[in-house]
Amino acid sequence: MANTPITIKDIARALNVSVSTVSRALKNNPDISKETRKLVNDYARQHNYKPNVMAANLRSSRSNIIGVIVPQLVHHFFSCVLSGIERQASAAGYTILVAQSTESYEEEVQIVRRFQEARVCGVIASLAKQTAHYDHYQDLLDAGIPVVFYDRICTGVKTERVVVDDYAGAFTAVEYLIQTGCKRICFFGADPHLEITKNRRNGYLDALRRYNIPIDESLITLCDTRQKAMALTPDLLESPLRPDAFFAINDETAAGVLFACKLAGVKVPQEVSICGFSDGMIAQSTDPKLTTVEQHGDEVGASAFAILQEKLERLSHKESGAGPLIKNRIVRTNLVVRGTTK
Amino acid sequence: MANTPITIKDIARALNVSVSTVSRALKNNPDISKETRKLVNDYARQHNYKPNVMAANLRSSRSNIIGVIVPQLVHHFFSCVLSGIERQASAAGYTILVAQSTESYEEEVQIVRRFQEARVCGVIASLAKQTAHYDHYQDLLDAGIPVVFYDRICTGVKTERVVVDDYAGAFTAVEYLIQTGCKRICFFGADPHLEITKNRRNGYLDALRRYNIPIDESLITLCDTRQKAMALTPDLLESPLRPDAFFAINDETAAGVLFACKLAGVKVPQEVSICGFSDGMIAQSTDPKLTTVEQHGDEVGASAFAILQEKLERLSHKESGAGPLIKNRIVRTNLVVRGTTK
């Protein structure tokens, strides 16, 4: 007997009210009187009532499960974002399904399908580097499942977004390099179609323009890994018009530049300044430590969840999911000056 | 009409077989003839049949959702493990719920409760540093939900485990330090009640014994973060019997020792050798790069999932969940010699 959990029916019978009343009272539906809600919830607590979440989800076609898509799990920034989402979601009683696209469009489409089968109530996603079509996300929206993008956002679908302030982060970093005497500043970026590349590149270009430094396209390169940095930096260091600074799209790449400079006998920061983007464990481990743009991944994740939660609350009050967007959120960055700049 | 998904009943009617036959054929149950299975599955594919996973789960009280407990999400090794689990699970058609205990016992207990409410079919977990009671895991096992532990395992509950070969990893590292001339080797470990500390400490001690080096308890210290290493290393370097090597429980701590040595003007590896444990991004970013014990986190995760999957398959064939253990798995480590050792 002790092992048989009580059901909504048992509560209804005991309190002599309808099953529907109990169900709505447990959800704190304001249609039910305050007294009845208290009565039902007290009884449920005393008798250790536990909702059959899956049955409840099936009836309402809603769950308290959120699907989270991460391009790569072994990645400091995305780990921070995931941690922020998880922390807020678990505090609010949600659980999260996690899947990594491994930067593949096909995999991302599969994940969205699996999430739909698992009846997630919402999705938080960052695009794979390969993704340039967005029908799978539109399908989610059409099915009434809200989507919030973070970091690598999708401009082709009308939905909420949380981004790092890439433009301002890049502008501030490059401005600092200029103010400390650098004039030939390389930009090592990622795939040009990604919003983060576009925005950081624009921040870089606008900082140069602000200080009347001519733009040299030969200093703008696709280079976003340690290996590429180790391969591309030596030639640049030997060119007649040697760069006096490198602004890299992530810390891994900046660390690669630093190693290449050391191998070439080029002094950092006396001869060449280096600035990264991210501020993870790498930035604290190099010698000298990296100057870098700090991204608040945890805050990005927490914001994405908060926006999704607000969206879900609106939906539960029968507002249209296709209604006006709640908001976009831009999470500030800040420049952390350490040993690789003057 | 195009929007109404076809059901098992529709398939049964169209092919003039029973609903139960269709259901079993879709699961490739060998009780159903090969021809019928092909007929049903072809029809289902042609008519874009999609199982209502949640309804199926409710009926069978089983899901294809696995709960994964991670002590910390922002942590290179655990990210690798999670990635390994996710990769294998998604390939096998499972989705994973992810929650972080943030090293808290209370949080871990809550997570297990939430996982049960979400009707996970199995759990893969690594213990929080604080966890010293295991009833919540026993509850899962009693409810027929298999549990596989990884890395920080639980010896108080009878279940499968996947561990890194901490003992051999530590033995090999310390043996290498001894063979390259070190005699006073510090061990910087984590909480002494954790299995990983015990095993790495035993590897350290046995290597000293093997080479007849006396054990000096003053060289064995609880020190498992960069901050602690920065705080504790200077005094050791100034002591009359200065250590000539440090073996640290993780790379972060080893990087802290390296920084402290540089600040004190102590040459690495000429005067002091340093070896870490993990081989993440940090090990490649220090100067010189860290000698460290490589842990195969991705393999740990993949193995944990494979064992859980085997367990689930046995359960689905009505074998007792409390039956004999399948196996424990020890994932090998290897020493990566770089610049911080002779």
CATH number of the domain residue B101 falls in: 3.40.50.2300
- The pLDDT tens digits of the residues spanning B94-103 come to 999 999 999 9
Distance from CA of A54 to the nearest CA of B (A): 7
Asked if residues B105 and B76 have their Cβ atoms less than 8 Å apart, the reply is no
The answer as to whether B268 is a domain residue is yes
The answer as to whether A340 is a domain residue is no
pLDDT band, very low/low/confident/very high, at B54 (cuts 50, 70, 90) = very low
Region A34-45: mean pLDDT is: 86
- pLDDT of A27 over the 90 cut: no
Beta-sheet strand order (sheet of A329-331):
A329-331, A160-164, A147-150, A122-125, A65-70, A95-100, B95-100, B65-70, B122-125, B147-150, B160-164, B329-331
- pLDDT of B249 over the 90 cut: yes
- pLDDT of B129 over the 50 cut: yes
Residue in A117, A155, A112 with CA at minimum distance from that of residue A136: A112
The answer as to whether B339 is a domain residue is no
Please name every residue paired with B322 in a beta bridge, in sequence order, or none if there are none: none
pLDDT band, very low/low/confident/very high, at B31 (cuts 50, 70, 90) = confident
Region B173-180: mean pLDDT is: 98
Can you tell me which residue has the tokens 């103010």?
A: A179
Q: Which of B201-210, B255-264, B280-289 has the lowest mean pLDDT?
A: B280-289
Region A190-207: mean pLDDT is: 92
- The pLDDT tens digits of the residues spanning B202-218 come to 999 999 999 999 999 99
- Distance from C-alpha of A334 to C-alpha of A338, rounded to nearest angstrom: 13
- pLDDT of B61 over the 60 cut: no
Q: Write out the H or E segment, with its range, that includes residue B308.
A: helix B297-316
pLDDT band, very low/low/confident/very high, at A57 (cuts 50, 70, 90) = very low
Region B169-193: mean pLDDT is: 96
Q: Which residue of A has its CA nearest to B74?
A: A79
Chain B contact set for A111 (CB, 8 A):
90
The reply to whether residue A281 touches residue B284, judged by beta carbons under 8 angstroms, is no
pLDDT band, very low/low/confident/very high, at B319 (cuts 50, 70, 90) = low
State phi, psi for B258 to the nearest 5 degrees.
Answer: -60, -45
Please name every residue paired with A97 in a beta bridge, in sequence order, or none if there are none: A67, B97
The answer as to whether A182 is a domain residue is yes
The answer as to whether B341 is a domain residue is no
The reply to whether residue B287 touches residue A286, judged by beta carbons under 8 angstroms, is yes
Q: Are residues A38 and A82 in the same domain?
A: no
The reply to whether residue A97 touches residue B97, judged by beta carbons under 8 angstroms, is yes
- The pLDDT tens digits of the residues spanning A138-162 come to 999 999 999 999 998 887 888 999 9
Q: Which residue of A has its CA nearest to B119?
A: A54
Q: Are residues B70 and B125 in the same domain?
A: yes
CA triple A19-A25-A28, angle to 5 deg: 150
The reply to whether residue B53 touches residue A119, judged by beta carbons under 8 angstroms, is yes
Region B260-270: mean pLDDT is: 96
Contacting residues for A134 by C-beta, under 8 A, at least 6 apart: A154, A156, A157
Chain A contact set for B111 (CB, 8 A):
90
pLDDT reported for residue A54: 47
Q: What ipTM did this prediction achieve?
A: 0.76
- Best of A98, A252, A262, A268 to disrupt the B interface (most B CBs within 10 Å) is A98
- Best of A57, A63, A73, A230 to disrupt the B interface (most B CBs within 10 Å) is A73
- pLDDT of A227 over the 70 cut: yes
- Distance from C-alpha of B172 to C-alpha of B83, rounded to nearest angstrom: 27
pLDDT band, very low/low/confident/very high, at A59 (cuts 50, 70, 90) = very low
* Torsion angle, alpha carbons of A234, A235, A240, A245, to 10: -50
- Distance from C-alpha of B201 to C-alpha of B196, rounded to nearest angstrom: 8
Q: Are residues B266 and B306 in the same domain?
A: no
In a 3-state reduction of DSSP, which class is residue A66?
strand
What do you get for the CA distance between the two ends of chain A, in Å?
74
- Distance from C-alpha of A93 to C-alpha of A311, rounded to nearest angstrom: 16
State phi, psi for B107 to the nearest 5 degrees.
Answer: -65, -40
Q: What is the 3-state secondary structure (H, E, C) of A185-224?
A: EEEEECCCCCHHHHHHHHHHHHHHHHCCCCCCHHHEEECC
The answer as to whether A218 is a domain residue is yes
Specify the amino acid at residue A32.
Answer: I
Chain A contact set for B55 (CB, 8 A):
58
Query: Number of folded domains in chain A?
Result: 3
Q: Are residues B291 and B303 in the same domain?
A: no
Asked if residues B286 and A286 have their Cβ atoms less than 8 Å apart, the reply is yes
pLDDT band, very low/low/confident/very high, at A193 (cuts 50, 70, 90) = confident
The reply to whether residue A54 touches residue B58, judged by beta carbons under 8 angstroms, is yes
- Distance from C-alpha of B333 to C-alpha of B77, rounded to nearest angstrom: 13
Q: Which of A57-61, A122-126, A319-323 has the lowest mean pLDDT?
A: A57-61
Q: Write out the H or E segment, with its range, that includes residue B111.
A: helix B105-117
The answer as to whether B2 is a domain residue is no
- pLDDT of A77 over the 50 cut: yes
- The pLDDT tens digits of the residues spanning B70-98 come to 999 999 999 999 999 999 999 999 999 99
B39: burial class by Cβ within 10 Å (0-12, 13-18, 19+)?
Answer: middle
Structure-model confidence comparison of residues A7 and B149, the more confident one = B149
What is the number of helices (H) and of strands (E) in chain B? Answer: 13, 12
Query: Longest C-alpha distance within chain B, in Å?
Result: 89
- pLDDT of B50 over the 80 cut: no
pLDDT reported for residue B324: 65
Q: Are residues A144 and A213 in the same domain?
A: no
Tokens of B136: 């919540």
- pLDDT of A279 over the 60 cut: yes
Q: Are residues A77 and A157 in the same domain?
A: yes
pTM: 0.78
The reply to whether residue B73 touches residue A57, judged by beta carbons under 8 angstroms, is no
The reply to whether residue A287 touches residue B286, judged by beta carbons under 8 angstroms, is yes
pLDDT reported for residue A2: 40
Chain A contact set for B286 (CB, 8 A):
285-287
Q: Are residues A324 and A216 in the same domain?
A: no
In a 3-state reduction of DSSP, which class is residue A104?
coil
Q: In terms of residues, how long is chain B?
A: 342
Q: Are residues A314 and A280 in the same domain?
A: no
Structure-model confidence comparison of residues A319 and B306, the more confident one = B306
The answer as to whether B338 is a domain residue is no
pLDDT band, very low/low/confident/very high, at A242 (cuts 50, 70, 90) = very high
Residue in B154, B341, B147 with CA at minimum distance from that of residue B257: B341
Q: Are residues B34 and B74 in the same domain?
A: no
pLDDT band, very low/low/confident/very high, at B112 (cuts 50, 70, 90) = very high
Please name every residue paired with B98 in a beta bridge, in sequence order, or none if there are none: A96, B68
Q: Are residues A286 and A184 in the same domain?
A: yes
Q: Are residues B145 and B188 in the same domain?
A: no
**Ramachandran region of residue A69, left (φ > 0), alpha (ψ -120 to 50) or beta?**
beta
Q: Are residues B76 and B156 in the same domain?
A: yes
Chain B contact set for A98 (CB, 8 A):
82, 86, 96-98
**Structural domain harbouring A79:** 65-164+298-331
pLDDT reported for residue A12: 87
pLDDT band, very low/low/confident/very high, at A194 (cuts 50, 70, 90) = confident
